[in-house]
A and B are shown apart, each in its own frame.
Chain A
């Protein structure tokens, strides 16, 4: 606790920022939030929250799902009117509830949903909200392009403005959104840039790119408030971390010298090891009966991948964007066509591109894109949960809805899905972590032989992440083969018996035992040991 500015208790009425922070920061803060409270229908979302952010620094705002991060950001952007408290930007009070005032004071926001139109060129996206240079009513394209290039260069992007956004790598898209938010800003125009989970959908090397952009923006004197779920990024980019929990700013810590565990405890509010596997002690298994065999798989970027997974084993798949990691599980499950190779489960050769036959032999697949491919948002959580296996509920001539309800209750309880009584609500209204739990329950219910999970904890808060990890380790303990494909290296280190590293469509390393560490995996991912590994 030596590096905390104040104890991790903020129940007394004074704002957090009043005490310790002012001694530390000599520069006057660009953003000053004083005693902001906000409640919705009597339930507090923010309780007396304070925050100070000087120019040219990157501060991280962290907290679990529902901790009040989004509410605070919406107060800053002028969307919510706080019940009490005040927000100062460069000393001037923000007219709360007025997005125009927020903009005029120099606050800019880049949200997780970037708000870009994918089918249009970068140029058109940049010019939303400002006028194209024209002559006699005709757009002066050359001039517009030069201007756009200059703006892109300011965030360190070298992109041809005429390329369509859809053809850009994810990190560059985020960069374009940042460039647009800073559009045409003269020195000192933009005081504050808020990035709301900019890396949630990015993989490791994309994150690197983005962090470099953020650093570039900060060095130009803009204060950056960086909202993230990913702990390691805080250490990389932020000087200070503000931790929100249940609507209160529970602590503010200087990042240098801060221990990871302390931060996680602050976020989670309980003694929670991120790698917490306490309820299940999974023995490190040696290969006994092989369940899944993949031979010479060729699909998209994958160029002849072979591996085996045994019963009870948790195998991780690591790889940067474009390495084939995103394609691997889809191809193994048969969600996408593959060109060559074979996938065998318990000796059954799987038909290509046929999820039904894969499911029949005991495969289960949790896709990375929860909203697009995982859940059916308009159907109730219950209907989502039972969709993959209705046979046990069917007793001619009817589905036994009572049985379905009680079975769903059981899964809600087991996975701690909130709201506990919400099984009839559409899946869309659940938080990301709870949606993911519902979708995992859908497969666990079938007692899968092979459980394929693609980015299982992306955009999920720390507590839900621990729950998900516990469940998949339990499944492995029950004899399932589990494959986790993740861009979150810490996650792989925490739960895997073995980690396959993909690079350029091939498996370049298979780490196990003590070899599984963030540094080893990262080295292999990036090809830092090229030659030695090959």
Chain B
């Protein structure tokens, strides 16, 4: 297959990396003293760790063909539960975290029940669940932002410095590696992709589609619960941060599906998207100093990402198909050549043809 210059430079697979580099270049030249600093790198890396974990959480059910619109709500509830268990119930940190993780896992179990057992569309089931979770959160917190636990363990949980970065970045890397391993290197990942690709065909190939979809929803809820706890440790138990995580997570996963392994939701593409977008937003904020840029940028990125993904997929199909056609035609050409050489004797031509078909 001939590869154009765009393919050779990886523009079809890693355009996000180029985008990231160009952001660094542009803002680095524009505001070198503000942008090209260690603190900017830290702000971006640490600030995006929690949204990136939520994006990975969202990715897992999307691979299996299910939307989870409750990831933001689970993250938020989990942060509040972890806090309230420590401040009100006076549990120590780890039992409180365990409680919060269990609560979010339970959200996933219920999502799975509606989606898999009752056959409700995942879009609707998780949207409803998100609303219910919001109400539960108001109940638990009494609609008053709880005080942050004052123990050192709670703050160092996400803020401890490791190699100059807050440890939450390391958590993100661990989550990403585990998610990548699960999706790309285990049968479970194959089953999830198969279920998302064609549930009927997967079922007839012996994949327990319902079971894996259910599991994917439990994973997404649990993982977003973990992300929520980390957010609580980083920034305190806000009552509203969850909702603002949802859209950027979708933007990242969709944009990520055009990267690294185009046409497929994948972990590294998602991470690349998160950090490319965040770098752009941070740079623009440094230049202009306005806050609404964040929403604008993420919204535009989501639209652009999905449009690009659709376009990219169409093009990929076409390219791949032309590859297939080319190989078929190559066989035809060899056959024609063989036949021209043997035009005198049709019998011989047939024999050549048969030979070239077999070859």
Q: Which residues of A contact B (CB under 8 A)?
A: 7-9, 11-12, 40-41, 43-45, 47, 66, 246-248, 265, 269-271, 333, 335, 355-356, 359-360, 365, 367, 372-379, 383, 386-388, 390-391, 394, 397-399, 401, 416, 418-422, 425-426, 428-431, 442, 463
Beta-carbon contact of A398 and B335 below 8 Å: no
The verdict on A355 contacting B203 (CB below 8 Å), with A376-B198, A429-B320 known, is yes
Question: Is A45 within 8 A of B329, CB to CB?
Answer: yes
Determine the distance from Cα of A397 to Cα of B188 in the docked complex, in whole angstroms: 12
Neighbouring B residues of A430 by C-beta, 8 Å: 324
Residue of A nearest to B346 (CB): A9
B302 in contact (CB, < 8 A)? no
Say yes or no for B277: interface residue by CB 8 A criterion.
no
Residues of B within 8 Å of A246, CB to CB, are 332, 335-336
Q: Give Cα A11 to B328, complex, Å.
A: 19
Q: Verify A387–B336 contact, CB threshold 8 A.
A: no
Contacting residues, chain A, for B322 (C-beta < 8 A): 40-41
How far, in Å, is A357 (CB) from chain B's closest CB?
9
Asked whether A429 and B328 contact (CB < 8 A) given A11-B339, A419-B323, the answer is: no
Chain B residues, Cβ within 8 Å of A390: 187, 190
List 28 A-B pairs, Cβ < 8 Å: A9-B343, A11-B336, A45-B329, A246-B332, A246-B336, A247-B336, A270-B353, A270-B357, A355-B203, A356-B206, A367-B201, A367-B204, A372-B201, A376-B194, A376-B197, A376-B202, A377-B197, A388-B206, A394-B187, A397-B181, A399-B187, A418-B331, A419-B327, A426-B263, A426-B320, A429-B317, A429-B321, A429-B323
Partner of A375, one of B181, B198, B357: B198
**Of the residues B181, B187, B193, B324, contact of A425 by C-beta under 8 Å:** B324
Known: A419-B327, A425-B323; 13 extra A-B contacts, CB below 8 A, are: A40-B322, A246-B336, A355-B203, A365-B204, A373-B201, A376-B193, A377-B197, A378-B197, A390-B187, A419-B323, A425-B320, A428-B317, A428-B320
Chain B residue at minimal CB-CB distance from A40: B325
**Chain B residues positioned under 8 Å from A399 (CB to CB):** 185-187, 190
Answer whether residue B147 sits at the interface, using C-beta atoms and an 8 A cutoff.
Answer: no
B330 CB–A CB distance under 8 Å: yes
Q: Give the docked Cα–Cα distance between A383 and B353 (Å).
A: 33
Q: Does the CB pair B202–A270 fall under 8 Å?
A: no
Q: Could you say which of B200, B328, B335 has the most chain A C-beta atoms within 10 Å of its C-beta?
A: B328
The complex places the Cα of A398 from the Cα of B327 at a distance, in Å, of: 33
Min Cβ gap B216→A in Å is 16
**Cβ of B291 under 8 Å from chain A:** no
Contact surface of B with A, Cβ cutoff 8 Å: 181, 185-187, 190, 193-194, 197-198, 200-208, 263-264, 317, 320-333, 335-336, 339-340, 343, 346, 349-351, 353-354, 357-358
- A247 to chain B minimum Cβ distance, whole angstroms, is 6
Q: What are the residues of chain A within 8 A of B317 when measuring CB–CB?
A: 426, 428-429
A408 to B349, CA, bound (A): 33
Contact of B327 among A247, A359, A418 (CB under 8 A): A418
Q: Is the CB of B332 within 8 A of A44?
A: yes
* 8 nearest A-B residue pairs (beta carbon): A43-B329, A270-B354, A419-B327, A376-B197, A246-B332, A359-B206, A390-B187, A429-B320
| Contacting residues, chain B, for A418 (C-beta < 8 A) | 324, 327-328, 331
Contact call B208/A356, Cβ cutoff below 8 A: yes
Whether B205 pairs with A40 at a CB distance below 8 angstroms is no
Contact pick for A422, options B187, B193, B324, B357, CB 8 Å:
B324
**Given the complex, which residues of B lie within 8 Å of A9, measured CB to CB?**
339, 343, 346, 349
Which chain A residues border B327 with CB–CB below 8 Å? 418-422
Given A269-B353, A372-B200, A399-B187; A387-B194 close (CB under 8 Å): yes
Query: B350 contacts A271, CB within 8 Å?
Result: yes
Contact indicator B324/A429 (Cβ below 8 Å)? yes
Cβ B335 vs Cβ A269 within 8 A: yes
Tell me which residues across on chain B come within 8 A of A40, comparing CB atoms: 322, 325, 329
Hey, which chain A residues are within 8 Å of B333, CB to CB? 43-44
Establish whether residues B346 and A8, one from each chain, have CB atoms under 8 Å apart when the complex forms.
Answer: yes
Query: How many whole Å from B321's CB to the nearest CB in chain A?
Result: 5
Contact, CB under 8 Å: B200 / A43: no
Alpha-carbon gap, A184 to B325, bound state (A): 38
CB within 8 Å for A41 and B190 given contacts A359-B206, A365-B204? no
Taken together as a complex, chains A and B put the C-alpha atoms of A425 and B263 apart, in Å, by 12
Closest to A375 in B: B201
Given A270-B353, A270-B357, A429-B321, decide whether A248 and B207 contact each other with a Cβ distance below 8 A: no
Q: Which residue of A lies closest to B330 (CB)?
A: A43
A43–B324 Cα distance when bound, in Å, is 12
Give the residues in chain B near A355, CB-CB below 8 Å: 203-206
- Measured between beta carbons, the chain A residues less than 8 angstroms from B343 are 9, 11-12
- B334 nearest CB neighbor, chain A only: A246
Q: Which residues of A contact B205 (CB under 8 A)?
A: 355, 359, 387-388, 442
B354–A269 touching, CB < 8 Å: yes
Q: Closest approach, in angstroms, between the C-beta of A154 and any C-beta of chain B?
A: 38
Given contacts A376-B202, A397-B181, contact A43 B332 (CB under 8 A): yes
Residues of B close to A383: CB separation below 8 A:
190, 193-194
- Using CB atoms, name the residue of chain B closest to A425: B320
CB pair A373 B200 closer than 8 Å: yes
Q: Report the nearest A residue to B320, measured CB to CB.
A: A429
With contact pairs A66-B328, A378-B263 given, residues A11 and B350 touching in the complex (Cβ less than 8 Å): no
Bound Cα distance A430, B326 (Å): 12
| Contact B201–A398 (Cβ < 8 Å) | no
Chain A residues, Cβ within 8 Å of B340: 11
Q: Pick the contact of B194: A379, A394, A426, A428 (CB < 8 A).
A: A379
A483 to B188, CA, bound (A): 31
| A394→B201 contact, CB < 8 A | no
**Minimal beta-carbon separation of A40 from chain B (angstroms):** 7
| CB-based contact A335/B204 at 8 Å | yes
CB distance from A19 to the nearest CB of B (A): 16
| A45 vs B329: C-alpha distance when bound (angstroms) | 7
Name the distance in Å between A36's Cβ and chain B's nearest Cβ: 16
Q: What B residues does A367 contact at CB under 8 A?
A: 201, 204
Measured in the bound complex, the distance between the Cα atoms of B325 and A246 in whole Å is 12
Using CB atoms, name the residue of chain A closest to B344: A9
Q: What's the least CB distance linking A430 to chain B, in Å? A: 7
Q: Which of A359, A367, A373, A401 has the most CB of B within 10 A?
A: A373
What's the Cα separation between A286 and B178 when bound, in Å?
55
B319 (CB) vs chain A CBs: closest residue = A429
CB of A431 to closest CB in B, whole Å: 7
If A9-B343, A270-B357 touch, whether A398 touches B186 (CB-CB below 8 Å) is yes
CB <8 Å contact, A387 and B202: yes
Nearest residue (CB) in B for A370 is B201
Measured in the bound complex, the distance between the Cα atoms of B332 and A418 in whole Å is: 13
B203 cross-chain contacts in A, Cβ below 8 A: 335, 355
Residues of A within 8 A of B332 (CB): 43-44, 66, 246-247
A398 to B190: give the CA distance in the assembly, Å: 12
Question: What separation, in Å, do the CA atoms of A398 and B186 have in the docked complex?
Answer: 6
